[in-house]
Amino acid sequence: MTVEFQWLWAFALLPLPLLAALLLPRAKEQTPAALRIPFFGALKSGLTLREQSTSPIWKWLAVLAWITLIVAAARPQLIGESIEMPVTGRSLMMAVDISGSMQTEDMDIGGRAISRLTAVKAVAGDFIDHRKGDRIGLILFGSQAYLQAPLTFDRKTVKQLLNEAAIGLAGQQTAIGDAIGLAIKRLQQQPEKNRVLILLTDGANTAGNVDPMKAADLAAAEGIRIYTIGVGAKTQLVRTPFGVQQIAGSDLDEPLMKAIAKKTGGEYFRATDLKSLQRIYALLDEIEPLSEDKLSYRPVDELYQWPLGAALLLTVLIAIGRGGLLKLPNTLRETSNG
């Protein structure tokens, strides 16, 4: 941290009192009118007179008071260390499906089966962590879509809200169109070139009031890119009375997901396990990289009040020290009662 003066020209005023003393004519001393009073002795005995001090210390204090006043006028500032900030970041909204089918345990981590939502929380949480400089928002949707976190730089809170999401909280069905519509509403006020929606689901549109393709048309018109991610294994082994049979892993509507992404200039990805989901988010980092433009910001604290206060204090000390509160003119003379 450093101290800088905003108005350095103020220091040119430092020699002003000396120039005034040298160039301006001295004021003529006038003898004040004498006051003759017959009871001077009694008055003198009732008053405490203080002689004006002529010690050089008061002159030096006056010089110091002038210097501190000029320092205050120069506007000193405490400049903090430079802080790097991104000039612009992306406005990135994440829409996560929490319908009933997201509890299906067909994702693998370390040889242990976990639910689709658990896998999404683990990978998406890491993705949120390192999107420094981006505004991140979170929408949770099932039968209805809810804004869980508005666009914010507080990535920690968004991640926590994602981790607290529970299956069925928004209903058991899937309203993809409503989720896109809500995201559009939240992204409309953001910079046009940096609007991104990541839509993650494992099903087809089975609920809601908005048609997904009409919502995609509106998103394209608003310049919002939608990246769709289909979650879930393609097939599952299920035990039946007739033995173990292989069935479809989910009801994912892949043609719809691909059409939404294509319409808005995004891409469609399929995540069949935890590793593929991790690769998808790594690829998203490459497609939508973090902003590299930086803005340097240095915090500034004003310091003028300190020298100004010192100048005021010195002035008060000089006023008290050089003369009393009550002074009588030197021409005050004692007169006789006659």
Can you give the residue ranges of every domain in the chain?
2-7+31-81+299-334, 88-292
Q: What are phi and psi of 243, to 5 degrees?
A: 105, -175
Whole-angstrom CA distances from 4 to 77, 130, 307 are: 5, 36, 14
What's the whole-number mean pLDDT along residues 196-211?
A: 91
Task: Give the whole-angstrom CA distance, residue 33 versus residue 219.
Answer: 92
Give which of 76, 86, 91 is closest to 297, Cα–Cα.
Answer: 86
Q: State the pLDDT at residue 286.
A: 83
- What is this structure's pTM? 0.60
What residues contact residue 133 under an 8 Å CB cut-off, 6+ apart? 85, 86, 89, 153, 290, 291
What's the whole-number mean pLDDT along residues 174-202?
A: 91
CB count, 10 Å around CB of 247?
Answer: 9
Poorest-pLDDT segment among 141-150, 228-237, 307-316? 228-237
What's the whole-number mean pLDDT along residues 50-66?
A: 74
Poorest-pLDDT segment among 43-57, 78-92, 246-260, 324-338? 324-338
Q: State the pLDDT at residue 294.
A: 56
Calculated CA dihedral for residues 241, 244, 245, 249, nearest 10 degrees: 110
What's the whole-number mean pLDDT along residues 67-80?
A: 92
Q: State the pLDDT at residue 249.
A: 52
Q: State the pLDDT at residue 277.
A: 85
Banded pLDDT at 234 (limits 50, 70, 90): low
Q: State the pLDDT at residue 328.
A: 40
Is residue 265 over pLDDT 50? yes
Q: Which segments within 171-314 are labelled E, that is strand?
A: 195-201, 225-231, 235-240, 243-248, 268-271, 294-297, 300-302
Task: Give the whole-angstrom CA distance, residue 215 versus residue 141.
Answer: 15
What's the whole-number mean pLDDT along residues 180-196?
A: 89
Banded pLDDT at 333 (limits 50, 70, 90): very low
CATH class of the domain defined by 88-292 = alpha beta
Q: What are phi and psi of 253, to 5 degrees?
A: -95, 85
Q: State the pLDDT at residue 247.
A: 46
Task: For 82-139, write each residue's pLDDT tens digit.
Answer: 766 555 568 899 999 999 889 888 887 777 788 899 989 988 988 898 888 788 999 9
Q: Which two tokens stand for residue 253?
A: 């509507």
| Bridge partner residues of 334 (DSSP) | 37
What's the whole-number mean pLDDT along residues 245-264?
A: 79
Banded pLDDT at 271 (limits 50, 70, 90): confident
What's the whole-number mean pLDDT along residues 159-164?
A: 94
Q: State the pLDDT at residue 143.
A: 93
Q: State the pLDDT at residue 36.
A: 62
Task: Give the whole-angstrom CA distance, residue 247 versus residue 303.
Answer: 74
Mapped onto helix, strand or coil, the DSSP state of residue 145 is strand
Banded pLDDT at 166 (limits 50, 70, 90): very high
Q: State the pLDDT at residue 165.
A: 92
What's the whole-number mean pLDDT along residues 9-20?
A: 89
Q: State the pLDDT at residue 238.
A: 45
* pLDDT over 70, % of the chain: 77
Q: State the pLDDT at residue 11.
A: 92
Whole-angstrom CA distances from 256 to 176, 201, 223, 283, 327 are: 10, 11, 19, 21, 98
Instruction: Look over the chain and give the mean of its residue pLDDT values, rounded to a whole number.
Output: 81
In the numeric block, the tokens 């991140």 are attached to 136
The answer to whether the CB of 162 falls within 8 A of the CB of 124 is yes
